[in-house]
Chain A
């Protein structure tokens, strides 16, 4: 059974870059023709899909965030990562990682607060 776990700083200053990692166990990020996604949920609001990286390395981002987002994969550590630049308070959210376009497996999420 594949499991995903998000990790990274819980507090980021405005204008800085948010960096999170998703560690995958029970499966490989470099095989199986899977998509690896990031999703977020601001407090009291709905879910927003951020983007994905395909096992081959190709990416697709939500146009609303595209100019600030980079998703990458580290096959040696069986992880994939999210970088979101120039953050503001509006980027405060619980960030989730998930597998495939169906989002069939999710991590528990990690709260990132943007504040000085």
Chain B
């Protein structure tokens, strides 16, 4: 089973900031990494696929990078609407596994 170590668990940012969220895999997963955004009471939204590809309809201030074991979700020019829970998913092997999540607060 692939363990995903996501950090930080919590972060606070100011509008206009750039933030990075890390997800490290316990084994090589190629680019089989996805990122999601979730707000309380709402369905999760798929934002980055295959580590680096922006899902259609997602603002370009979101980007993903990485390959193998180290991955990063970057949000540039943070907006207040970006306050949410973010999590990563590996779909390279079964069982599918998730990072522990990051709660992003906007001041």
Whether both chains belong to one complex is answered with: yes
> Chain B binding site: helix, strand, loop or mixed by DSSP?
loop
How far, in angstroms, from A47 to B87 measured CA to CA in the complex? 9
How far, in angstroms, from A58 to B107 measured CA to CA in the complex? 47
How far, in angstroms, from A37 to B45 measured CA to CA in the complex? 15
Give the total number of A-B pairs whose CB atoms are below 8 A apart.
51
Q: Does B36 contact A (CB under 8 A)?
A: yes
Q: Is the CB of A102 within 8 A of B91?
A: yes
Q: Is the CB of A103 within 8 A of B46?
A: yes
- Do A62 and B95 form a contact, CB below 8 Å, given A102-B49, A103-B34, A103-B36? yes
Per the 8 Å Cβ criterion, residues 20-59 of A in contact with B are: 37, 46-49
Which A residues are CB-close (under 8 A) to B46? 102-106
B80-99 vs A: 1/0 string, CB under 8 Å?
00000001010100111111
Q: Is the CB of A49 within 8 A of B97?
A: yes
Which B residues are CB-close (under 8 A) to A106? 36, 43-46
Q: Does B100 contact A (CB under 8 A)?
A: yes
How far, in angstroms, from A101 to B32 measured CA to CA in the complex? 10
Q: Does A60 contact B (CB under 8 A)?
A: yes
B residues with a Cβ closer than 8 A to A are 34, 36, 41-46, 49, 55, 87, 89, 91, 94-101
A residues with a Cβ closer than 8 A to B are 4, 37, 46-49, 60, 62-64, 96, 98, 101-109
In order of increasing CB-CB distance, the 9 nearest A-B pairs are A47-B98, A49-B96, A62-B95, A106-B44, A106-B43, A46-B100, A104-B46, A101-B91, A108-B43
Given contacts A47-B87, A62-B95, 10 further A-B contacts (CB under 8 A): A37-B96, A46-B98, A49-B95, A96-B44, A102-B34, A103-B46, A106-B44, A106-B46, A108-B41, A108-B43
